[in-house]
Homo-oligomer: A and B are copies of this chain.
Amino acid sequence: MRVTIWNEYRHEKSNPAVAAIYPQGIHGALEAGLSRHDLGVIRTTTLDDPSQGLPDALLSETDVLVWWGHRHHDEVSDDLVARVCARVHAGMGLVVLHSGHFSKVFKRLMGTPCTLKWRADGERERIWTVDPSHPIAAGIPAHFTLEQEEMYGEPFAVPSPDEIVFLGWFKGGEAFRSGCCYKRGLGRIFYFQPGHETFPSYHDPTIIHVIANGIRWATPVAMMEGPFVNERVQPMEAIP
């Protein structure tokens, strides 16, 4: 498998507190953690790289794309959004992390506003596995705790997920659909809520395990060979 981790990579360069937690960038932490999960080739790329990190050559060689963005969603060009969505439709898997819920790519694929409530006060979150026989829950305990995370709260303006794997409980009083599965075209999409830049969630082995499972689950089953078209076809049975 060929996994590409796309990171906005701006907080880490401008905010020393974030740099202290993620000195190699969020993408670096993800790569380090995921590299222990036998996922194949893992590459990283960022918004400030050429072609905003995803030239066609790289995108077309990506089986599953992991996406972390936050403050600069609007800088992502409509062209890149279109290319990523087309690649998802063609079968590429997509794992959208945390504030990626508001990326252009995710909003385009969901067809909804994707808004939510939030509070980055670093409260405790406990994640509950509600679909323990889902492949993304393989090896994940019935519940686990992050001592500090950003609260994401309902209503989460997304379509009803095809499958809900995890719920999030927050100390401040909220519950959230924290692990959600979708399909769009031939592509599988997993959204996973933890991962604020000021907290060390991507150094947590259980979080990494969930993301690794999400990547495996999102691995393409089939890839479109041509474009999506409306096509006239001949009848296979007599139409008298």
Q: Which residues of A contact B (CB under 8 A)?
A: 85, 89, 91, 102, 108-113, 115-119, 121, 123-124, 126, 128-135, 137-138, 142-143, 145, 151, 153-157, 159-160, 162-164, 167-177, 182-188, 220-222, 228-237, 239-240
Contact = CB atoms under 8 A, between A and B. Distances in A.
Nearest to A173: B236
29 contacts: A108-B111, A110-B111, A113-B185, A113-B228, A116-B230, A117-B230, A117-B232, A118-B231, A118-B232, A118-B233, A119-B232, A119-B233, A119-B234, A123-B239, A126-B174, A131-B160, A132-B186, A132-B221, A133-B183, A137-B222, A153-B233, A159-B182, A160-B163, A167-B175, A168-B175, A171-B235, A171-B240, A175-B175, A175-B176
A155 B172 contact: no
A214 B10 CA distance: 45
A26 to B, nearest CB: 20
A207 to B, nearest CB: 17
Contacts of A164: 160, 164
